[in-house]
Amino acid sequence: MRPPRIGVLALQGDVREHLQALSTVGADPVAVRRRAELDAVDGLILPGGESTTISYLLDESGLADPLRARLADGMPAYGACAGMILLATEILDAGSGPRVAVALGGIDMTVRRNAFGRQVDSFEDYLSVTGLDGPVHAVFIRAPWVERVGPDVTVLARAAGHPVAVRHGAVLATSFHPEVTADRRIHELFVALVTGRA
């Protein structure tokens, strides 16, 4: 059986780090910049970066509508930080002017951008994540938090009283950046979602 082909949206952000993480957990990682590459993957990671910039580049590249359609069709996806913002159905403080963060609707949730503060307020913590043994090393960089989840969304972890890791079916999102640590359990969980083992 072939390993799952998992794409990393490669428009901006922590692309290389996610590709490296995927290669260590039994996936076939692929950078996704074009429609044909999106069509060929079994699941997709939306990396951390700048959510308004990624939104703009999704529109410019023509990937926004095909990505929405694949999510609506049930494609497994994982969003980290900016990726969490993009997977929401509603974004608070989405930006202004020509650059705004666009909700792709992968998870029924409301997310607040930069909820933990600016770059200088970035921090690290160890979180208990439902389904994983032992604390997860979580790096928060200008991170969002979740203010509302729909009835079918499971909260997997909280920080400062707010959800920071959630799951809706085969779609996963975290406020933090597991790709910048040596802990690969979030990526392992996503691979398990893609292959139907979770």
Is 177 assigned a catalytic role? yes
Residue 51 annotated as part of some ligand binding site: yes
Query: Does the annotation place 141 within a ligand binding site?
Result: yes
- The catalytically annotated residue of 18, 168, 177, 187 is 177
Q: Is 175 annotated as a binding residue?
A: no
CA atoms of 165 and 144, how far apart (whole Å): 11
179 given a catalytic annotation: yes
Is 96 known to sit in a ligand binding site? no
Q: Is the C-alpha dihedral spanning 84, 178, 151, 74 positive or negative?
A: positive
Closest CA to 22 of 60, 78, 85: 78
- Beta strands at 43-46 and 95-96: parallel, antiparallel or unpaired: unpaired
Residue 54 labelled as part of a binding site? no
The whole-angstrom separation of Cα 117 and Cα 22 is 29
- Answer yes or no: is 113 a known binding residue: yes
Cα–Cα distance for residue pair 89/14, rounded to 1 Å: 23
Contact 35, 63 (CB under 8 A): yes
Active-site pick, 81, 168, 187, 188: 81
Catalytic entry in 17, 18, 168, 179: 179
Kind plus residue range of the DSSP H or E element containing 29: strand 28-32
**Kind plus residue range of the DSSP H or E element containing 147:** strand 145-149
User: Which residues are the active-site residues?
Assistant: 81, 177, 179
Which residues are annotated binding-site positions for L-glutamine?
A: 49-51, 113, 141-142
Which residues are annotated binding-site positions?
A: 49-51, 113, 141-142
